[in-house]
């Protein structure tokens, strides 16, 4: 109690400073602002990760359409599960030795292929989805996506892009 009296006496003598109550009010206001701002910030991060996956999937579809167009509309993706493209990307080109237009996939540009750019923490799974049609699954590790639970799916058969 003596310390409170001492502080009040200093105020009477013209000393300047903040009271404990004023400081507590400021701390409470900062706490309320932080409680409101943090969830908004976290949702913005998730939205940015999802947009990043959507962008990578759209760009990959444009690259695949370009490759198919250069090969008279034919495109064959090797393997039953296709191939994965991870950061920073991969290169694809048509294997001219095969009559079906099977794609070659490389991590580096060996034969002047088209580059599929993939953002950090994103993965694309590109697979056959019918004759001359394909499906692209995209996910971001920060969103908890996997090949079995992709964040974004694109189907070339109808040009739809769906988010999960």
Whether 6 and 17 have beta carbons less than 8 Å apart is answered as no
119-138 pLDDT, tens digit per residue, is: 999 999 999 988 889 999 99
Over residues 51-55, the mean pLDDT reads 95
| DSSP label of 152 | E
Residue among 123, 122, 83, 126 nearest 106 (CA): 83
Q: DSSP secondary structure string, 79-147?
A: SSS-EEEETTEEEEEE-TTSTT-BEEEESS-SSSPEEEE--TTEEEEEEE-STT-EEEEEEEGGGT--S
2-47 pLDDT, tens digit per residue, is: 777 876 776 666 667 788 888 999 999 999 999 988 888 888 989 9
What is the overall mean pLDDT for the chain? Answer: 86
93-119 pLDDT, tens digit per residue, is: 888 777 677 888 888 877 677 899 999
């Amino acid at each position: 109690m003596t310390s409170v009296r001492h502080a009040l006496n200093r105020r009477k003598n013209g000393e300047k400073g903040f009271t404990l109550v004023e400081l507590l009010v400021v701390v409470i206001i900062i706490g309320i602002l932080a409680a409101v701002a943090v969830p908004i910030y976290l949702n913005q991060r998730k939205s940015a990760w999802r947009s990043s996956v959507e962008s990578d999937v759209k760009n990959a579809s444009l690259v695949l359409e370009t490759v198919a167009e250069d090969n008279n509309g034919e495109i064959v993706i090797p393997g039953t599960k296709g191939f994965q493209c991870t950061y920073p990307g991969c290169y694809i080109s048509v294997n001219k030795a095969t009559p079906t237009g099977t794609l070659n996939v490389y991590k580096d540009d060996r034969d002047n292929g088209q580059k599929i750019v993939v953002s950090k923490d994103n993965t694309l799974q590109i697979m056959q989805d019918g004759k001359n049609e394909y499906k692209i699954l995209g996910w971001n590790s920060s969103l908890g996506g996997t090949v079995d639970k992709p964040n974004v799916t694109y189907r070339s058969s109808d040009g739809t892009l769906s988010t999960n």
